[in-house]
Amino acid sequence: MTIKDIAKNCSVSVSTVSRVLNHHPDVSEEVRQRVLDEVERCAYIPNNSARDLVKTRSDAIGVIVRGNGNLFFSSVLKTVSDEIERCGYTMVLHYIGSDADEVKAGAILEREKKLQGLLFLGGRFDYTPAELSVIGIPFVCCSYTNYFGSLDEKDYSSVSIDDYATAWRAMEELIRRGHRRIAAVIPSRNDRSISELRYRGFEDAMRANGIEPDETLIEETGGCFEMPEAYEGTKRLLKRTEDFTALLMLSDTTAMAAMKALEDHGKRIPQDVSVIAIDGLNVSEYAIPTLTTMIQPAEEMGSESVRILMNMLKDPGYTRHKLLNAPLREGASVRSI
């Protein structure tokens, strides 16, 4: 049974049947009813054979965004959306909280929306194969890898910067400018996630330069990248000690919150304290002073993630782990001492 048969049986043109099936308004109610009745009588299925309908899962790609108000992810999302659409798929967007389980959310979304593939914008770095077994479709970790986990590299894909090396290079910039008393306000030192990995870069860069990390210069904010927590963390650090000349922050927005806390505490940036971060958001170019930061290439990250996911859909054996460069964006928040 084809659209031509429907048209013939109803004594209307093929294009009229098409208009009815596509809900166009320019068809009389009488003709519409006649076509719909015939469609029902013949159990005609537009476009797909019954077999296709069972085989295909829909054209949906799930995108799980972790954390509320993460401005970096907002900037990745536009590219991801554009690229998914350009490839002929439909993006199904789902936000989860900073501490929510993206794997569980992905597994539920996979079933509910009959997804073809998944893209995680942010997530844990320590997946096990058992945990990931609930996901039955190809997925790409966007902005992170499975550094602390036990997944086989061939079982997933990722697009990220080298978080460890990027934190290291931010530190080298501070050390090159003469800083040795360097503080850090970070979500956590040992959450087996992006924060721990960047913290390791912080610590190892110091040691490699002959500086013993000072316990009193590290302040943990409890696992999230939110601005209020970063502000309060910086305040706590300043209460404990003012004996530092530079501060590493792990994102641009938390760095802006830290600059605010420093300012409120009477510290001038960069005269009293230099601040460096990792992200490269547009908004931090307009911070006062302009934030010095390592640029995570948001657009490239988004487009590479979708490109890799498309290859995974075409070729079940395909996976890829892409590391992107994170160049320094020189602002005015770091000075030489």
Binding site for a copy of itself (CB under 8 A): 20-23, 25, 36, 39-40, 42-46, 49-51, 53-55, 57, 60, 68-69, 71, 74-75, 78, 81-82, 85, 90-95, 111, 113-114, 136, 227, 231, 253, 256-257, 259-260, 263, 282-283, 285-288, 290
Min dist CB 264 to a copy of itself, Å, is 9
C-beta closer to a copy of itself: residue 126 or 272: 272
C-beta closer to a copy of itself: residue 145 or 333: 333
Min dist CB 241 to a copy of itself, Å, is 22
Min dist CB 50 to a copy of itself, Å, is 4
Min dist CB 262 to a copy of itself, Å, is 9
Q: Distance between CA atoms of 309 and 80, rounded to whole angstroms?
A: 11
Report which of 117, 158, 114, 113 is spatially closest to residue 138, judged by C-alpha positions: 117
C-beta closer to a copy of itself: residue 10 or 206: 10
C-beta closer to a copy of itself: residue 171 or 259: 259
- DSSP class of residue 69 equals T
C-beta closer to a copy of itself: residue 61 or 174: 61
C-beta closer to a copy of itself: residue 140 or 197: 140
Min dist CB 287 to a copy of itself, Å, is 7
Contacts from 225-229 at CB under 8 Å and sequence distance 24+? 225/67, 225/70, 225/98, 225/187, 225/250, 225/251, 225/253, 225/254, 226/67, 226/68, 226/69, 226/98, 226/254, 227/253, 227/254, 227/256, 227/257, 228/257, 229/187, 229/254
C-beta closer to a copy of itself: residue 216 or 282: 282
Min dist CB 212 to a copy of itself, Å, is 32
Residue pair 35/42 in contact by the 8 Å Cβ criterion: no
Q: Distance between CA atoms of 11 and 89, rounded to whole angstroms?
A: 35
Residue pair 302/266 in contact by the 8 Å Cβ criterion: no
In a 10 Å sphere around its CB, with 0-12 CB exposed, 13-18 middle and 19+ buried, how is residue 76 labelled?
Answer: buried
Q: What's the angle, vertex CA 165, arms to CA 164 and CA 169, rounded to 5?
A: 125
Residue pair 96/64 in contact by the 8 Å Cβ criterion: yes
Enumerate residues 6+ apart whose C-beta is below 8 A from 28. Answer: none
C-beta closer to a copy of itself: residue 90 or 336: 90
Min dist CB 35 to a copy of itself, Å, is 9
C-beta closer to a copy of itself: residue 202 or 231: 231
Min dist CB 259 to a copy of itself, Å, is 7
Q: Distance between CA atoms of 292 and 275, rounded to whole angstroms?
A: 7
Report which of 12, 116, 120 is spatially closest to residue 66, judged by C-alpha positions: 120
Q: Distance between CA atoms of 204 and 251, rounded to whole angstroms?
A: 19
